[in-house]
Amino acid sequence: MEHESLVIVLSAGGSPLAGDSLDTLIGTSITWVRVEREGSAACLAARVRHRDRPEEFRCRVRRWGAAQGWAVTVAPCEPLR
């Protein structure tokens, strides 16, 4: 994998959001993930490795999240050393 990004997914009643939700993203490797819940709302934060250029990855992940009824924020980050 050439790039790493931080991915934040917010769900306020869309599809169920779980720690393995990002497993459906093709061509990615999850470094770490954390999910928090409060009632029907959930937030997933993850560090993701991918081959897409950061701007392409951001667009792809936002489309993926929108199809699930989720809001997604993506920020490129430096690889962990």
C-alpha angle 55/60/62, rounded to 5°? 95
Indicate whether 79 belongs to any domain.
Answer: no
pLDDT class for 20, splitting at 50, 70, 90?
A: very high
The rounded distance, in Å, linking the Cα atoms of 67 and 9 is 12
pLDDT class for 81, splitting at 50, 70, 90?
A: low
Indicate whether 67 belongs to any domain.
Answer: yes
Indicate whether 80 belongs to any domain.
Answer: no
Structural domains counted in the chain: 1
Indicate whether 9 belongs to any domain.
Answer: yes
pTM of the model: 0.89
Task: Report pLDDT for 79.
Answer: 67
Instruction: Give yes or no for residue 34 having a pLDDT over 80.
Output: yes
Closest CA to 24 of 74, 68, 75: 68
**Edge to edge, what strands does the sheet with 28-38 contain?**
28-38, 41-50, 3-11, 71-77
